[in-house]
Amino acid sequence: MNSEIIELDVLRLVWALGLMAVAIGLAAWQRLGLVGTLALATVRTVVQLVAVGFFLSIVFALRSPLLVLGVLAVMLTIAALTARNRIDKTLPRLLLWLWGSLFVSTALPLAHVTVAVLRPESWYEPRYLIPLAGIVFGTAMNAAAITGDRLVSTLRQSRTEIETHLSLGATPEQAIARYRQEAIKAGLIPTVNSMMVVGLVKLPGIITGQMLSGVDPLNAALYQMLIMFMLAFASLVTVLIIAHGIRRQFFNSAAQLVSP
């Protein structure tokens, strides 16, 4: 079997862009109002990925721990800002809670995998650290955004019910226990669903990319398994911290419901 990697040059990518040209044409034909959106998404995809590809090639070549940590800090901050914008831009300290939750939920599995599983020559090996962190950041960010948006909107819409529970002697934790549970479950649904059908309904990006680059399918599957475990752990830790942080902003020190 020929295991030589098929390099994608400019001409091949131009042919690939033909798919988006057809998609934009179909949107225009059906008058969906998506022509501008699809065109902008296509341009941003090309520009962003080309820029990231060139930049990461430099990072991988230099192998500087400070540079690697700087890249991770930028990725973390962008993920926190994106999640905050999806939840609520007006909640005080929400950005700090998101930043902290994403940091903890990503650092823990990364440290475990680096020390106990992969054991590369250096802990800051960008070939492993940056791709793994990026995948975890993205999944944890989505989980935080779903949980946070669900919990914030529910707490604001259920003030009367919550205050009734408080007046009957319930603690803030007890008064919002059901809302918290539902929000956390909602945030974990995408990750859990992916784990249920991975390999059967879809092949995720990591295993697909590795197989396209010539890696043995079994080894690619093992890497995907490792990543799925990291994503499940990180998502759960993130949503637990975010739910706690939001609860603290909706109640004061006297256990009274407030309007942040």
SS (H, E, C) the chain: CCCCCCCCCHHHHHHHHHHHHHHHHHHHHCCCCCHHHHHHHHHHHHHHHHHHHHHHHHHHHHCCHHHHHHHHHHHHHHHHHHHHHHHCCCCCCHHHHHHHHHHHHHHHHHHHHHHHHHCCCCCCCHHHHHHHHHHHHHHHHHHHHHHHHHHHHHHHHCHHHHHHHHHCCCCHHHHCHHHHHHHHHHHHHHHHHHHHHECCCECCHHHHHHHHCCCCHHHHHHHHHHHHHHHHHHHHHHHHHHHHHHHHHHECCCCCECCC
Q: Is the pLDDT confidence value at 112 over 60?
A: yes
CA atoms of 249 and 240, how far apart (whole Å) = 15
Tell me, what's the pLDDT at 3?
57
Among 28-32, 86-90, 115-119, 197-201, name the one with the lowest average pLDDT.
197-201
CA atoms of 44 and 48, how far apart (whole Å) = 6
Q: Is the pLDDT confidence value at 63 over 70?
A: yes
pTM, entire model:
0.88
The token pair that represents 104 in the structure block: 């903890």
CA atoms of 63 and 54, how far apart (whole Å) = 15
Q: Please report, rounded to a whole number, the percentage of residues in the chain having pLDDT higher than 90.
A: 79
Q: Is the pLDDT confidence value at 82 over 80?
A: yes
Residue 257: φ, ψ to 5°: -75, 130
33 sits in the region (left: phi over 0; alpha: psi -120 to 50; else beta) called left
CA atoms of 194 and 34, how far apart (whole Å) = 28
Residue 116: what residue type? A
Tell me, what's the pLDDT at 7?
79
If you average pLDDT over residues 181-197, what whole number do you get? 94
Question: Is residue 93 within 8 Å of 127, Cβ to Cβ?
Answer: no
Name which residue leads in pLDDT, 177 or 219: 177
Average of per-residue pLDDT values in the chain: 92
pLDDT tier, 249 (very low <50, low <70, confident <90, very high otherwise): very high
Among 98-102, 149-153, 200-204, name the one with the lowest average pLDDT.
200-204
If you average pLDDT over residues 132-145, what whole number do you get? 96
pLDDT tier, 171 (very low <50, low <70, confident <90, very high otherwise): very high
If you average pLDDT over residues 91-100, what whole number do you get? 95
If you average pLDDT over residues 206-210, what whole number do you get? 75
If you average pLDDT over residues 13-37, what whole number do you get? 94
